[in-house]
Amino acid sequence: MSRCKGCGEEFKWIKTTGGKNMPVDPTLVMYWADRRGKDKICTPNGEMISCNLDGDPLAASGVGYIPHWATCPQANQFKRKRR
């Protein structure tokens, strides 16, 4: 595992289906897939899905990792500037 240079929390790397490395929080969480969901989840196989992170546990779509940029209080310090 790695440590975030911004907040000091541990995170792990997942390779996305697009071939990029994504920093994610290390704990698996349940998610409910929803194209208009306010959250994002990275599945263990690297697929990014729009979802909600609360709902009926019996109706969960699966488990995945929350991208670290969604929970890191220092995430803005790492955003790249657009050209």
CA distance linking residue 46 with residue 64, whole number of Å: 9
Residues 43-57: pLDDT tens digits? 999 999 999 999 999
Domain range annotation of the chain: 2-75
Q: Give the whole-angstrom CA distance, residue 63 versus residue 71.
A: 17
What are 21-47's pLDDT values in tens digits? 999 999 999 999 999 999 999 999 999
Pairing of strands 48-52, 39-42: antiparallel
Please report the pLDDT score of residue 83 as a whole number.
67
Average pLDDT, the chain: 92
Q: What is the CA radius of gyration of the chain?
A: 13
Query: DSSP E strands: which ranges in the chain?
Result: 2-3, 10-15, 21-24, 29-33, 39-42, 48-52, 62-64
